[in-house]
Amino acid sequence: MTDAHIPNAEATPGWRELPFPKTSFDDAIKIAPVDGVAGLYKAFGPRDWSLPHDNGLSLHGGYLCSLLISGSREYARATGLVELNQPDPLSMHVQFLDLAPQGPLHVRFTTLKSGSRSSVVQGEVCTAQSTTAGSDPRKKTYTLAICTMGNLNDKSGISLELPPHGPLPSRETDCVRWTDAFAFFTSPPTAACRVYTPKGGPTPLWSPAVGQNRRDQWGKLDNGENFRLEHLGLLADIVAVIPINYQREGMKSLIKFNVPSVSLTFDFVQDPAGQKEWILNRATMNRLQNGRFDMDLLMIDEEGRLVAAIKHQSLMFERKRHLGGQDQKEEEKKKKNGEGARL
């Protein structure tokens, strides 16, 4: 693994630059309080943190999770949760209610329960409605989160020392770098990490050494920084969905299939705090049935210690019209000739 220092733009054959400005991760998740309204913040969802859907661009689900992680910490600092020593989300359930458009947004937090051990906070990503007197108070919530707040650095309480997760694939000897110019261009957040997966399979997406319904995926931030807690939201949703392991076209099968996320549930175990250069995403799909599938994700550091455990629920169905301007009649012809997609 001699190219880990090379950014995706230089390591990816056929790389295409985006035809619009790029926004750094830290700038993309910035929020600012709205004067006079407790718990309400202004945000802006950039175009390069979006991806295409049937009806146009919408913000990437992992980006929205990162925005809510960052926002929950900002809210904790601005409220009595600081006095309770509860600055971090210990767990977070994120429900995607509707596609969130790029552009101005509001992020709203309210405390549902305060307690000495933990507190519960609700977060919403919603329309940037006016807050002036006499304005229309209606809003639309795109993403809803329930966060249990506590302190990830608190080492008190009952604990068990379990064996480390393993065996972990060696990036140097067992893995190959995964690059995909199509994926990086159509879904720019995907390019935020340099990714290595076990080699020896028909594609870099899966290897018989791991199994077709699984994937081990080492990730390193493409900007050269180390992971922080806020990055884990993004990292959880840039794992290529396991059903494409069963598609000959790989990532390009997403031209024909829509795979929207329904929810992501996070259990944060440790705060990377800018000290982790590499994190392994160990993904397992337990079932794909009736258009619904799940992915269990374990985020593991280089010592085999758990960083976070995530449950990802998604749907899968054929798009009404294929992305990229493909001719529908041609696709129907292929299906009749037995050349259509298979699962």
Task: Check: CB of residue 283 under 8 Å from CB of residue 299.
Answer: no
For position 204, what pLDDT does the model report?
A: 86
Structure token pair of residue 181: 């110019």
Taking residues 154-164, what's their average pLDDT? 86
Amino acid at 112: L
Q: What is the pLDDT of residues 104-113, one digit of tens each?
A: 999 999 999 9
Amino acid at 143: T
Please determine, for residue 143, whether its predicted confidence score (pLDDT) is greater than 60.
Answer: yes
Where does the pLDDT of residue 130 fall: very low under 50, low under 70, confident under 90, or very high at 90 and above?
low
Q: Show the beta-strand stretches assigned E in the chain.
A: 32-33, 40-45, 50-53, 56-59, 88-96, 103-113, 119-127, 141-150, 175-178, 193-198, 214-221, 257-258, 261-268, 279-284, 288-289, 292-300, 306-315, 317-318
pTM reported for the whole predicted model:
0.90
**Is the domain defined by 8-152+165-322 classed in CATH 3.30.70.330?**
no
Please determine, for residue 157, whether its predicted confidence score (pLDDT) is greater than 90.
Answer: no
Structure token pair of residue 300: 């593991």
Please determine, for residue 215, whether its predicted confidence score (pLDDT) is greater than 90.
Answer: yes
Amino acid at 207: S
Where does the pLDDT of residue 322 fall: very low under 50, low under 70, confident under 90, or very high at 90 and above?
low
- Cβ atoms within 10 A of the Cβ of 26, count? 12
CA torsion, points 54, 58, 62, 67, in degrees to nearest 10? -160
